[in-house]
Chain A
């Protein structure tokens, strides 16, 4: 790597970090560094200044805020997967992390970094959007909360403005009747980027779907909610027939590209299959055993 020289800053607290970011030209936030360093190396991002937030205490904690869990943006994937709070409230995130990156990268890469990098094939955003997460953005001008689904503008472009730091990710706790599941198709078993990924969140009350979010990853410039697919579940009894129809809608809503990892058609097919499988998994998770038999059309 022949990275251009930059200046390194390690502020002690959030306020200091915000003021550094506000005043320094071409400054990048460094959390885990696994994306940032390779991006600087390949010229995708330019940085004259790098502001490390990896040791700011409030950004490395996971807290129970009652109705929601707040994950500090600088928490590494390993911290997240080892957290008793996450294990208790969001096992779907814990299940997703081994698919996210290699054990070594998981030691360094952070949840906030994965969100901020905003690459099409990122994994954390997909499950987090399905869970209805919000992100907290802090700058010298104050704090704002943004729905994660509205956070991404384009590949590597987000609503985060200069001087803003993504500080926390807030995830509402699920009701007893809801569940979610993340699936990723990668060409090899581990340590590779998503060809397509799907996360499904459903709230099923008395066998009827009351809330649904089907989120697609790596098949559009940003993670997207398959709106038609999600909507078509509402008020319905989730059975095999519905699931196939929903998956078909998701397939249509995907906007993939051809690249070395997969073609447009293949990615659409993956969206279809992963959507079906993800919804089935959610149904298994959120329905009491006796109600599962009502979901005809697939094996429970």
Chain B
């Protein structure tokens, strides 16, 4: 049975994959995942961590799930291997796959193959598994998007999909035919079969690989870089240092471009980029990096923001005196007067945590220069447009000569919202070598690249009248920012800007400090700058309610923002149903029966949140519309292609945009296809950040759809001899409003249009209303056409002996306007809750005294598993946002915001002590309980 043929360290081995025999040549150390992906082209098996933590590489080994990254190809010989590509037959989905598609169990899709395979192994043995059995089976695969709820549901309901389900567009009769329906995702078939191509799944002919040498010191001057030994290493094709790349700084906000392509004079954190290599494979790259000799002179480093601000602290970047990267000084109304009017004034200090987006897909980019001197870059990004903009600055070429193609993206959450060193170095290395270059981070490199959440230390002070009315709020936030600016300036403003949006605050003062330290740079992470202040505010608000013997929900209702209000910091709130959200969670969670009445160790808590539906202003100044769309109708009229520059990072934006455009045109969902995030073929779109796509991209797509419809109605009017105003287009049928029978198929009208006029093209664009926001420094941050609102109730159980918190249930309600796709909205809410559960209880990046990350992996940086996330009862309240397409606004980021406060308040209710530092670990709970005991014994 052994079929090895020895040839040095190489072996021939026969593998049985999906029933087929493959003879492959491997080295002893080759893992199965490498063979599957690189030799057999079975790229549905994903590589997420390489050390058996994340589960993305799951295959079935003799019917049982196994990590292909930990299995030597030689050890797989003679075993029955099934990959995701082996689950469907002749293009027909397995019922379990159909369940994933129709239950909304897929978002970014990167974990989907593993989830399907583990589910398959389970149902093979147990056709009707319980919720617990499913969660146990899934516990070895992380999902960062879905919160597991819909995956569990899909696996439990898989037998319902033995037959093809009927289209959800049929059924109920509603005015809108496509919008408002829980339709399956546009990309779900590709994602559930392993066909969806992520950047790392692309292999170009003659392709090289690249890797980056990073600094081993947190702060050091570079005295010399010697690349000679590396240059002569067999297989090395190019080496870059600061000497052979342009001396141009980049970053996010133009006023704070402070990053070099490769470190020039000094390095500012462990992980700072020093040199880049292109070679025939990654291993050769690594060997070359090891041969580059860099002479450093170590400089004193600073890791704590308070220390960093002190006079005499090591100065990291000269342009930021006292390492203060951003200072915000806002004063609205008169807080002193407000506090005087209050019956109770309380203040406290809250400390957040450094958390990392941890998308399941590692960053990856491939650059290729074409013969005409143009650059094509494939990348996993949230923002093709900004990547192109920065590349054009750094490469000193026009934007039009750069084509950035956003492939499928396995999650972003803000971590892929800016240009990254892989994209930049790949472009330069490809230029230098004349060959395509692929670069990717491994999991550890991702943690060092970071751009995750700022750790904020917040002093929050609230004044309140006896009846619960808030009279004033004062806040100071210190954001620990890491070495460079990234999105930090915006985070510093957001930390304050969004506080006055949920409740009516008559007076508000905010002092913000974003401070540089010698740690990896923080950036924009889901909820950008807002979760920690929201945690502080919601905690203190509940404490005050309790002190005044008021129900925390009543206090929130008392102060809740009303529709059509202007906040104290000059933000215009349009639709607002925060009160309805609070009433909904109160009712559904059984709050009135539980609040203050649960036994010791068990508790219930509430929190609220809300966010912008897209930033009101662009990151760099331009007059371009923020979102644009074109639509092309095929000459036979049967197929419509929507082109949008927005990106799909898993949240379902392409599905939602397709629904909007289809509705606007009057066609069914099956007829519309979508092409996105390709700067050569899709019009400018700012991309997926600031929760902007549904509202802004949606408005542009709606306008483009209406443009198509308008052109068709003119033709139809002539064809059926009815005045245009009287014609309606719905579900592929254009007809007389007053006589439904007088009509013609949509495609016939479209074909006629083409015959007479040539291509049928629709165009749409969207810019936020002009003049949003007030007239003060930083007033643009926090502006938006519309705001979401939400409330969340959480129930917990705390083991007072170990400090362990078990979250029992979440009940949440959201004002997202009118949902375009309710299933997708639920998916966003459930995913946001799971992510924030992790951030509240588990996740924290820990550094040693030298600035090394102690947990740059997924076994010590703890993401929640399917067993950690409790049932989530998520709903939306009735709402309509006039500025949104068909009344819709955002959900993706706002849904994160109520969660920390809800959990923290539930823990307080359970054990009567408050942990004010995140994450709320068992150790911190025990410490707080111990302090309380001491205080009671020795008052």
B residues less than 8 Å from A266 (CB atoms): 803, 922-923, 926
| Closest chain B CB from A254 CB (angstroms) | 15
Report the separation of the CA atoms of residues A30 and B71 in the bound assembly, to the nearest whole angstrom.
11
| Closest chain A CB from B124 CB (angstroms) | 13
Are B52 and A188 in contact, with the CB atoms below 8 A? no
| Complex partner residue of B72 from A5, A30, A98, CB under 8 angstroms | A30
The yes or no answer to A50 lying at the interface (CB within 8 A) is: yes
Are B65 and A189 in contact, with the CB atoms below 8 A? no
Are B865 and A33 in contact, with the CB atoms below 8 A? no
The yes or no answer to A102 lying at the interface (CB within 8 A) is: yes
Are B846 and A104 in contact, with the CB atoms below 8 A? no
Closest to B72 in A: A33
Are B28 and A7 in contact, with the CB atoms below 8 A? yes
Report the separation of the CA atoms of residues A5 and B11 in the bound assembly, to the nearest whole angstrom.
12
Q: Which of A37, A54, A107, A187 has the most CB of B within 10 A?
A: A107
| Complex partner residue of A260 from B72, B118, B855, CB under 8 angstroms | B855
Which of B134-142, B197-205, B252-260 participates in binding chain A? B134-142
Which of A190-198, A210-218, A290-298 participates in binding chain B? A190-198
Q: Which of A101, A190, A259 has the most CB of B within 10 A?
A: A190
Q: Which of B66, B842, B922 has the most CB of A within 10 A?
A: B66
Closest to B137 in A: A103
- With known contacts A33-B71, A192-B859, A192-B862, A105–B52 Cβ distance under 8 A: yes
| Complex partner residue of A261 from B2, B11, B29, B860, CB under 8 angstroms | B860
| Complex partner residue of A52 from B9, B74, B804, B860, CB under 8 angstroms | B74
- With known contacts A2-B286, A37-B70, A104–B55 Cβ distance under 8 A: yes
Chain B, residues 863-888, CB within 8 Å of chain A (1/0): the string is 01111100000000000000000000
| Complex partner residue of A102 from B55, B922, B923, CB under 8 angstroms | B55
The yes or no answer to B304 lying at the interface (CB within 8 A) is: no
Are B70 and A102 in contact, with the CB atoms below 8 A? no
Report the separation of the CA atoms of residues A108 and B70 in the bound assembly, to the nearest whole angstrom.
9
Report the separation of the CA atoms of residues A109 and B410 in the bound assembly, to the nearest whole angstrom.
28
| Complex partner residue of B865 from A37, A108, A191, CB under 8 angstroms | A191
| Closest chain A CB from B838 CB (angstroms) | 9
Report the separation of the CA atoms of residues A189 and B139 in the bound assembly, to the nearest whole angstrom.
8
Are B9 and A5 in contact, with the CB atoms below 8 A? yes
| Complex partner residue of B67 from A30, A34, A40, A260, CB under 8 angstroms | A34
B residues less than 8 Å from A30 (CB atoms): 72, 75
Interface residues in A, total, Cβ within 8 A: 46
Chain B residues 772-821 with CB under 8 Å of chain A are: 801-804
Q: How large is the interface on B (under 10, 10 to 19, 20 to 34, 35 or more residues)?
A: 35 or more
Closest to A259 in B: B854
| Closest chain A CB from B64 CB (angstroms) | 4
Chain A residues 67-117 with CB under 8 Å of chain B are: 78, 98, 101-105, 107-108
The yes or no answer to B539 lying at the interface (CB within 8 A) is: no
Chain B, residues 886-901, CB within 8 Å of chain A (1/0): the string is 0000000000000000
Are B74 and A189 in contact, with the CB atoms below 8 A? no
Are A8 and B28 in contact, with the CB atoms below 8 A? yes
Report the separation of the CA atoms of residues A190 and B137 in the bound assembly, to the nearest whole angstrom.
11
| Complex partner residue of B66 from A6, A108, A193, CB under 8 angstroms | A108
Chain A residues 123-175 with CB under 8 Å of chain B are: none
The yes or no answer to B61 lying at the interface (CB within 8 A) is: yes
| Closest chain B CB from A195 CB (angstroms) | 8
| Complex partner residue of B802 from A104, A108, A261, A270, CB under 8 angstroms | A270
Are B854 and A189 in contact, with the CB atoms below 8 A? no
The yes or no answer to B682 lying at the interface (CB within 8 A) is: no
The yes or no answer to B340 lying at the interface (CB within 8 A) is: no
The yes or no answer to A64 lying at the interface (CB within 8 A) is: no
- With known contacts A190-B867, A270-B802, A54–B70 Cβ distance under 8 A: no
The yes or no answer to A263 lying at the interface (CB within 8 A) is: yes
Chain B residues 455-469 with CB under 8 Å of chain A are: none
Are A1 and B50 in contact, with the CB atoms below 8 A? yes
B residues less than 8 Å from A270 (CB atoms): 802
The yes or no answer to B688 lying at the interface (CB within 8 A) is: no
Chain A, residues 207-234, CB within 8 Å of chain B (1/0): the string is 0000000000000000000000000000
Report the separation of the CA atoms of residues A158 and B386 in the bound assembly, to the nearest whole angstrom.
55
Chain B residues 2-31 with CB under 8 Å of chain A are: 2, 4, 9, 11, 27-29, 31
The yes or no answer to B51 lying at the interface (CB within 8 A) is: yes
Are B61 and A107 in contact, with the CB atoms below 8 A? yes
- With known contacts A107-B64, A260-B846, A269-B926, A191–B136 Cβ distance under 8 A: no
A residues within 8 Å of B by Cβ? 1-8, 10, 30, 32-34, 37-38, 40-41, 50, 52, 54, 78, 98, 101-105, 107-108, 185, 187-193, 259-263, 266, 269-270, 273
7 tightest A-B CB contacts, nearest first: A102-B140, A189-B867, A190-B139, A8-B28, A107-B66, A107-B64, A3-B29
B residues within 8 Å of A by Cβ? 2, 4, 9, 11, 27-29, 31, 50-53, 55, 58, 61, 64-67, 69-72, 74-75, 118, 136-137, 139-141, 282-283, 286, 801-804, 842, 846, 854-855, 859-860, 862, 864-868, 921-923, 926
Listed by A's residue number, 25 A-B pairs whose Cβ atoms lie within 8 Å are: A1-B50, A8-B72, A10-B4, A33-B71, A34-B67, A37-B31, A37-B72, A54-B75, A102-B139, A104-B52, A104-B58, A104-B65, A104-B67, A105-B70, A108-B66, A185-B802, A188-B862, A189-B865, A190-B865, A190-B867, A191-B53, A191-B139, A191-B859, A260-B846, A260-B855
